Amino acid sequence: MSFSVIRFSSRFQKFYFSPEASPFTRGFAFRQGFRLSSDLGFVTRHLHKTPNNYTPNIEGKNLMSLITEEEIKRQPDDRTRLIDKNNKDCIKAGDVLMIETYINKGSNAVSTFAGVCISIRRQGIDTNLTLRNVILKVGIEQRFSIYSPMIKSIKILQRGEGFRRAKLFYLRDQPGKAFQIGGLVKQEIIKRLASNSGPPNN
């Protein structure tokens, strides 16, 4: 093995450096002699073979955003387009949504909640939105985690118009006509019944 800039002196202690340290950086102790060698015998980072031959590219990437990306890629349907800000058809605060959730893992029975989306919290895989509705004069809010496996579908019934905030918490005190959405829900149910009892496929 040939050495370039070497001043090897037996007077100074040999010491070990990690594989990624370059001997030519300013922080490196030039006063001490060093030797480029692969026989120093310290343990390297990757001790084992990559299981399943999968190595995610972590160069220059934040670990948490990498994990989030991978988890989102694993999702069975494309819910991400509903909350992706780059998508022009994404959900915004003020939209009227109808969300169907499975009541438990054992059955296909579904529970529906419709309401105005008053907040979208973008937290990667834990992204959640809050729907508010007034049912029998009682204000009810429910928070849904979008990537939860219990969510069956998210449907936009009506786009919001004239809402100029990201979080519409002021609607709790000044609702105006925001929660008159009973008609929209009825229309949606009629549509569904019509499609269910459509012409039989033969």
Partner 1 sequence: MQKRLLTTIIDKWKLQLEKKPQWTENSVRLGAIARKKGMTALWDEWGARQPCTVLQLEDVQVVQIVENKKFVKPHLVSVQIGCSNKTKNISRPLLGHFKTAGVPPKWKLCDFHVTADAVLPVGSEIKAAHFVPGQYIDLQAPSTGKGFAGVMKRWGFKGMPASHGTSKTHRSAGSTGQNQSPGRVFKGKKMAGRMGGNNVTVSSKVLKIDNELNLIYVKGAVPGHKEQFVRIRDAVKKQGAACFPQDYLPPPFPTIAPENLESLPRELIAKSGGIDPFLAKES
Among 2, 42, 177, 195, binds partner 1 (CB under 8 A): 42
Strands (DSSP E) found in the chain = 96-102, 110-121, 128-135, 138-145, 151-158
Q: Considering the rule CB under 8 A, would residue 28 count as an interface residue with partner 1?
A: yes
Q: Which of residues 151-190 bind partner 1 (CB under 8 A)?
A: none
Q: Is 63 left (phi over 0), alpha (psi -120 to 50) or beta?
A: alpha
Q: Considering the rule CB under 8 A, would residue 45 count as an interface residue with partner 1?
A: yes
Angle at 84 between CA 162 and CA 113, to 5 degrees: 65
CB of 54 to partner 1, least distance (A): 6
Q: Considering the rule CB under 8 A, would residue 60 count as an interface residue with partner 1?
A: no
In angstroms, the CA 152 to CA 99 distance is 8
In angstroms, the CA 119 to CA 94 distance is 8
Q: Is 41 left (phi over 0), alpha (psi -120 to 50) or beta?
A: left
Whether 120 contacts 96, CB under 8 Å? no
CB of 41 to partner 1, least distance (A): 6
Q: Considering the rule CB under 8 A, would residue 112 count as an interface residue with partner 1?
A: no
Q: Considering the rule CB under 8 A, would residue 6 count as an interface residue with partner 1?
A: no
Cβ nearer to partner 1, comparing 56 with 182: 56
Residues that bind partner 1 (CB under 8 A): 10, 13-21, 25, 27-28, 40-43, 45, 47-52, 54-56, 58, 63-64, 66-68, 71, 102-106, 123-126, 145, 147-150
